[in-house]
Amino acid sequence: MTASDSFVHLHVHSEFSLLDGLSRIPDLTRRTAELGMPALAITDHGAMYGAIEFYAACTNAGIKPIIGVETYVAPRSHADKEAKTDANPYHMILLAKDATGYRNLMALTTKAHLDGYYYKPRIDKEMLAQHSEGLIGTSACLGGEVLRRLAEGEERAARQAADDYRSILGDGNFFVEVQDHGVPEQDRLHPQLVELARGMNIPLLATNDSHYTMPEQYEAHDLLLCIGTASNLDTPGRLRFETNESYLKSPEQMRALFRGELPDAMDNTLRVAEMVDLKLQFDQLRLPHFPVPDGETPASWLREECERGIATRYQPVTDEVRHRLEYELGVIERMGYSGYFLIVADFTRFAREQGIMTTCRGARRGAS
């Protein structure tokens, strides 16, 4: 397969899009490799739970991993949480170009859950602007702001939204997504969307918003949606996908959809994949910084904490107890885990002070 015939899926949901995505990561990467595609993105709803597993699976399959998220953008501020007005956020795809972008994705998803949660974990444009470096963004699906504004007949607002995102992310880092699932609303808005992108000189990007891997999984995915929405298959007006098109299609299938009218939208998927240069290292220990008193190291401070601990727990402190302490501390220091033990001791101490039960792994049941 030549580069001009290839394609990269950049809007993909795995099982970590809880009760919405059916695809398991090993199946996604295996199928991508079988179809000869050079890269694959993961863009789960509002979270990055599958990022590390996905990165490792892609690397093992010889595929470039692209880490992303389909985030929810609050219509107003992420702090606004009024019924009806703020309960239906816009969708947006964000992809990490590099390590900085990856850190910004983590920061955004964390803030979305801790500060912006209202039905969904939400960010806003101001928050995105604060963490925009190293990110690529797309207008997403019918739930995205650009398409939703067009659907509401607000063309000026749609253009403003597209311009906002382009300004936040920078020229060349924002794309207008085009999809073709045979859905009437997509067909109706498609000409307007393409005209908007062309008129504003924003590049187009072909995607397929994959929620399951193979077409024969449509019914299983439909059942998953029922579980997620507490519905039955025959519940009137329930959430369902109108067509069986949201699977991991081959480059040939995607090119057949867009080749005649929008070949650039296909080629831009390869362009985005080339823009991504993210390397994650798993051979180093990465722990949060734990502050210790001046003149101390994590190892020396852990030793002092342990000395105070045995003085209160053992009377007298026998040679056997001291020998065991030295042995344990020696192992911890050689492994580089002194900071880890200080961190665990800190949150365990806090929990006990607040009356929160704690248990130790390996301890007898009921111990605290």
Q: Quick: pLDDT tens for 358-368.
A: 876 644 433 33
State how far the alpha carbon of 7 is from the alpha carbons of 112, 173, 340, in Å: 31, 19, 43
* Percent of the chain topping pLDDT 90: 89
Q: Is the pLDDT of residue 1 over 60?
A: no
CA atoms within 13 A on the CB side of 95: 27
pLDDT at residue 346 above 90?
yes
Rounded to 10 deg, the angle between the 338-353 and 298-313 helix axes is: 50
**Residue that is written with structure tokens 């995105």 in the block:** 128
- Residue type for position 221: H
Q: What residue has token string 């739930």?
A: 143
Cβ-contact 17, 45 below 8 angstroms: yes
Structure confidence at residue 145 as a pLDDT band (50, 70, 90) = very high
Residues of the chain with CATH 3.20.20.140: 3-275
Identify the pLDDT of residue 364. 40
Per-residue pLDDT at 211 exceeds 90: yes
How far is residue 25's CA from residue 365's CA, in Å, rounded to a whole number?
Answer: 35
CA distance 235 to 184: 22
Mean pLDDT of 147-172: 96
Q: Given this model, what pLDDT does residue 282 score? A: 84
- Please tell me the predicted confidence (pLDDT) of residue 148: 97
Q: What is the pTM of this model?
A: 0.85
Read off the amino acid at residue 87: A
| 363 vs 196: which has the higher pLDDT | 196
For helices 338-353 and 319-335, the axis angle rounded to 10 degrees is 110
- For range 61-80, the mean pLDDT: 96
Architecture category of domain 3-275 in CATH? Alpha-Beta Barrel (3.20)
